[in-house]
A and B are shown apart, each in its own frame.
Chain A
């Protein structure tokens, strides 16, 4: 590409970083925010604040939730109850329901209950077991969590391929950055201030090398999390498409 290995790798480092960095910046910002996913949701739903004032005994809260489900979905094959925690004060109750007969209208949803397919869910007040109906409809921190890998503005499947591509070339940028860097240890302690571009480069080196293990880890684990989507060929061949057998093993 250029004269010499280091120069070539420097070129790849610059271009791969520049081209995918913009998307990655949004992914980082959203991912960092989703560390505080529950807290952001809680902050954005002031209606829940009262429920968090005193944590009731778990047995009592669970009993209320069971009663609420008994009343709404006595014949459901499956209930899910998530008890309150320090991070999430409401009781999350979900249940599945048998499909309604063809031609019959869907029963109206109770206030505070949401439906996705055959799956219903509600956040209950731990003290009363009633759905918290007045809670505003915001996805809160959940938005950032999905934004981190679904990008929100496009179909999720495209978003995941785009992010996989960006993560792959971030890995390339990191490794080429390392091999470009001749005096990686000595340069870590070098900072030449007020020298224009030289200062920026020194700062880039120092911050990048400081968090290098972390950068490598987040990039690689990002790819590995969705590796069955990005690299499905091995299991496809050896399991002949028997996805369940692979998951089981």
Chain B
């Protein structure tokens, strides 16, 4: 008998636990990555002086993090949670890469 049987009663329970673990990872790691990207993009593209832009990005990043965590646990499945983080992250990451590329080219 599986010694951890008292923990994992059924396949459904196991799936539920995996889902929670996946979402926790998405919330903590993915949320941080997304908010870091928002902070960086804001520092690059926000109008105003670059100091204002950088500070605005840092200030808004904690709000983005909160919203990301809420999103991750609000949606129907863990896959959707990851997808919802990935979709905004892709254009943001591209925006950062474009900036770095243009700068190195200049």
Chain A 216-228, CB-CB to B under 8 Å as 1, else 0, gives: 0000100110011
Chain B residue numbers with a CB within 8 Å of A109 are none
With most chain A CB atoms within 10 A of its CB, the pick from B53, B65, B66, B75 is B66
Chain A residue numbers with a CB within 8 Å of B86 are none
**Is the C-beta of A133 less than 8 angstroms from some C-beta in chain B?**
no
Known A-B contacts A9-B74, A12-B69, A237-B96; A231 and B50 likewise in contact (beta carbons under 8 Å)? no
Chain B residue numbers with a CB within 8 Å of A165 are 28
**Is the C-beta of A249 less than 8 angstroms from some C-beta in chain B?**
yes
CA distance A168 to B58 in the complex (A): 13
**Structural contact, A228 and B70, CB atoms closer than 8 A:** no
Q: Shortest beta-carbon distance, B84 to chain A, in Å? A: 13
**Is the C-beta of A26 less than 8 angstroms from some C-beta in chain B?**
no
Q: How many residues of B contact A (CB 8 A)?
A: 29
**Is the C-beta of A8 less than 8 angstroms from some C-beta in chain B?**
yes
Q: What class of interface size applies to chain A in its complex with B? A: 20 to 34
Extra pairs beyond A172-B66, A179-B70, A238-B43 (9, CB < 8 Å): A5-B74, A165-B28, A169-B69, A176-B70, A224-B62, A231-B58, A231-B62, A233-B40, A234-B53
Binding site for B on A (CB under 8 A): 1, 5, 8-9, 11-12, 16, 165, 168-169, 171-172, 175-176, 179, 220, 223-224, 227-228, 231, 233-235, 237-239, 246, 249
Binding site for A on B (CB under 8 A): 23, 28, 35-36, 39-40, 42-44, 49-51, 53-54, 57-59, 61-62, 65-66, 69-70, 73-75, 96, 99-100
